[in-house]
Amino acid sequence: MVLKAIQENGDENIDSILETLLTYAEFFNPDSDDESKLLFLTKMGYSEAEAFNSHGDHVVDSSIAELTDFICAAQISNSYSC
């Protein structure tokens, strides 16, 4: 999350980074509905495919933080696949 906020705002704009992180924090509630989570992931810059694939069986009991971790792990895995 922090890296994404820094990429969006630049590494010297601390106020904007903090504001972005606080905005993200509003959506960390695992009780958010599926559609809200999908929308939030796409607003964070993940592709619709990545956001949709992160959902699967995980969305019901997962927070946005857990879903973003899942997406990042998938991105890393894909970057190392032969």
Give the pLDDT score at 81: 58
Give the pLDDT score at 13: 83
Mind listing the pLDDT tens digit for each residue in 12-68? 888 888 888 877 766 665 566 777 778 888 888 888 888 878 766 655 677 778 888
Structural domain count of the chain:
1
Q: How confident is the model at residue 77 (pLDDT cuts 50, 70, 90)?
A: confident
The stretch 60-82 carries a mean pLDDT of 80
Higher pLDDT, 73 or 2: 73
Q: How confident is the model at residue 8 (pLDDT cuts 50, 70, 90)?
A: confident
Can you spell out the DSSP letters for the chain?
-HHHHHHHH-TT-HHHHHHHHHHHHTT--TTS-HHHHHHHHHHTT--HHHHHHHHTTTTTT--HHHHHHHHHHHHHHHHH--
Q: Which structural domain, as residue segments, surrounds residue 57?
A: 2-80
